Structure 1
Amino acid sequence: MLNGEKKIARPLRWAMIGGGRTGQVGYKHRIGALRDNTAYQLVAGAFDIDAERGKDFGVNLGVDENRCYPDYKKMFAEEAKREDGIEVVSIATPNGTHYEITKAALEAGLHVICEKPLFFTMAEGEEIKALAERQGKIVGVTYGFSGNQLLLQMRAMIEQGKIGEIRVVDLQYTHGFSATEQGDKSNAAQKWRVDPKVAGPSFVLGDLSTHTYYMSELIMPNMKIKKLLCDRQSFIGSRAPLEDNAFVLMQYENGAVGRLWTSSINAGCMDGHRIRIVGSKASLEWWDSKPNELRYEVQGEPIQTLIRAMPYLDETCNADERLGALHQEGLSESWANIYLKFAIAIDAKNRGDEETLKNLVYPDINAGIEGIRWIENCVRSADNGSVWVDYESKKPQLV
């Protein structure tokens, strides 16, 4: 159980790039990092492309106005002069800026926590991974849903053979908030998401499905995709070539099959985030809308609902429990869990504690690179006529 006691010797001196007043994700980062005030201290930031608005916002967060910078380059240069300069930075900016800012941060000797999708290409991902290794720094990726504890319960039950051999993987992350094009023009946080120059080669595949795909990797670390087929659509024509809806079929190396539906035009849907794993003996199903419940369905037996924080759950699951079974947890606690693990990873890296790093389950640089690989393969399949592609290949392989 987590109760706010320190897990590292002292709070990390932390800064944000982006995540200002008009951003959609900044507050999620802050509640994640600062939920346990023993892990991070927000001491600086370049919060907004508008320098004055960013300074005003930072001051209202309690940051010294002299440490509210007009841009990240100025922040890195000035903070490097201070004995109490920043140690880790979170990047909450549009996709097209992630690579250059991450590279600059690592070169400045900082650990990095970055929004997803991490970068546009596998080459960029491998380059940054090598740079992080040379610098001895951590790069974490904010797959914010992945801190939900019951995902670790699913992982444990699969490892223990509770559902038998995995046969079917059924994934969904959909909503209806982009069912019309209104937000494309009026919402600053939406505008860049449908601009290929800023968002990259995809919209919902990168913005939504990378979350769900990483969660499936977290739950099933030994399941590897062999082939993939993606069919994507732009129902709002002005978004083309970026998709607002996509279907992905998967074949796994062990013979299992999978499907994923991701969409921002699922009209009327408030929360269609679901993971179902079907085994030879039983199935597991988790919904983001009911994050404190896990359905365990054994063939021929009554359906069971497992409840977060109960003592019958695996210790790896309950290690992240915060509020007790009587009280509901959700996305805020999920973000807090991954941010705490980022802090533990950073502290371990600083101390050269490779054993802790080896056993810590969190979305690291490798998870970010796999997200890039996922997008590249989906886009490659769709753009070549929705063909099956070898998941490790750079060219579509017809089946």
Structure 2
Amino acid sequence: MINGEKKLQNPIRWAMVGGGRGSQIGYVHRSAALRDQNFQLVAGAFDIDPERGKDFGMNVHVSPERCYPDYKTMFEEEAKREDGIQAVSIATPNGTHYEICRAALNAGLHVICEKPLCFTTEQAKELETLAKTKDRVVGITYGYAGHQMIEQARQMIEKGDLGEIRIVNMQFAHGFHSEAVEADNPSTKWRVDPKIAGPSYVLGDLGTHPLYISEVMLPNIKIKRLMCSRQSFVKSRSPLEDNAYTLMEYDNGAVGTLWSSCVNAGSMHGQKIRVIGSKASIEWWDEHPNQLKYEVQGKPAQILDRGMDYLYPESLAEDRISGGHSEGLFEAWSNLYTRFAMAMEASDRGEKLNDCWYPGIEAGLEGVRWVENCVRSADNGAIWVEYQ
């Protein structure tokens, strides 16, 4: 159970690039990082407008001299300080991630990066090599994976409660962009611009979340080939898709589907994953993240609740307030930030955490690889492609 006592000898001196006033995700990063006293926010380049960024930084208690006009200046100036930053979170539009991540690694910093890590597998492999060369941790913020019941699902599958895995059904299909909302919303507008968002919209922005959750639950099966069809129902978004279906075949003979969409009119969030085995099935829905549906063939369906003693011990390790109380997205992100911090501290000691999973550089690479393969399939007439 997590009770707020320190896990690290000293908090990691931490900065942000982006995430300032008006950011959709900056506050979640800060709340997650600071909740368990594993990080200390000491610097930032919070905004493309330096004065606005400085004003914001001072309002989150960062010293004015450590509110920088851009990330390059920040990395250079912080390197001169004995108390300089050790890690940085990147919360900027997609098209900047690769450049900033590379610069941070070259500056000897640990990195926590919004997904996608970059636009191409080639870029992702370069960053992976650089991270290993520098012995730095790169974390990817697949924040939903931090919910406790994801760990319970992982343990149930590993211990054989479901039997042989046959089918994986995934979706992240909300309805908030069923019209061209980007015309009046700057934080959405860049997501449908290929120059900034990359080669996809909902595949990369939404689909990679349940994809990573499936990788956490099912670490021992890999995609062999896939087929993807994508559509732009709001025509102004073309060539980027606002809806896509992906079929997958795994190396153990299982099959999977993933529906990625922002035009599922009426749906609030619509992120679900159902894993079907030869004996039983489990289903997790992020609108009810504290529960996991467990259905054994021939028996009444069960609803497993977060924090209860009947769960596997591994799924109770990150419990904060015991069963019956609801936890949400901030706790999930905090769980991942705690894991990032522990991995960073171990790296600084020249060690590695072998018993602690987190979405690292490999997860970032796999997300980019999956999107590339989906786009390749869709743009060639929704054909089956070998997974490369």
User: TM (normalized to structure 1)?
Assistant: 0.96
Equivalenced residues, count: 388
User: Over the residues paired in the alignment, what is the CA RMSD in angstroms?
Assistant: 0.7
What is the identity percentage for the equivalent residue pairs of Structure 1 and Structure 2? 61
**Corresponding position: 1:295 with 2:305:** no
**Corresponding position: 1:135 with 2:134:** yes
- Whether contact under 8 Å (1:22, 1:188) holds in the other structure is no
**Corresponding position: 1:370 with 2:366:** yes
> One-letter code of the match for 1:256?
A
CA distance in 1, matches of 2:135, 2:159: 35
Paired residue for 1:307, among 305, 327, 336? Answer: 305
1:185 Cα deviation (Å)? 2.1
CA distance in 2, matches of 1:118, 1:134: 18
1:346 Cα deviation (Å)? 0.1
SS at 1:359 equivalent = coil
1:353 Cα deviation (Å)? 1.7
2:199 maps to 201
CA distance in 1, matches of 2:243, 2:170: 14
CA distance in 2, matches of 1:353, 1:336: 23
- Whether contact under 8 Å (1:153, 1:313) holds in the other structure is yes
SS at 1:250 equivalent = strand
- Within a 5 Å distance, the mapping from 1:313-324 to structure 2 comes to 313-324=311-322
> One-letter code of the match for 1:359?
D
1:13 maps to 13
CA distance in 2, matches of 1:58, 1:175: 33
> One-letter code of the match for 1:161?
G
1:105 Cα deviation (Å)? 0.5
- Please give the per-residue CA displacement for 1:99-146, whole angstroms capped at 9, x wherever unaligned: 110010111111000000111011111111111111111111000101
CA distance in 2, matches of 1:374, 1:195: 20
Structure 2 unaligned regions, length at least 5: none
CA distance in 2, matches of 1:322, 1:41: 21
1:219 Cα deviation (Å)? 0.4
Paired residue for 2:238, among 213, 237, 240? Answer: 240
- Please give the per-residue CA displacement for 1:227-269, whole angstroms capped at 9, x wherever unaligned: 1000000011111110000001111111111111110111111
1:312 Cα deviation (Å)? 1.2
CA distance in 2, matches of 1:81, 1:187: 39
CA distance in 1, matches of 2:200, 2:267: 21
1:9 Cα deviation (Å)? 0.8
- Please give the per-residue CA displacement for 1:314-358, whole angstroms capped at 9, x wherever unaligned: 11111111111121001110000000000000001111122x2x2
Structure 1 unaligned regions, length at least 5: 393-399
**Corresponding position: 1:145 with 2:141:** no
CA distance in 2, matches of 1:79, 1:244: 41
Paired residue for 1:339, among 333, 337, 340? Answer: 337
> One-letter code of the match for 1:47?
F
- Whether contact under 8 Å (1:297, 1:304) holds in the other structure is yes
1:158 maps to 157
CA distance in 1, matches of 2:220, 2:262: 30
1:85 Cα deviation (Å)? 0.6
**Corresponding position: 1:119 with 2:118:** yes
> One-letter code of the match for 2:16?
M
SS at 1:363 equivalent = coil
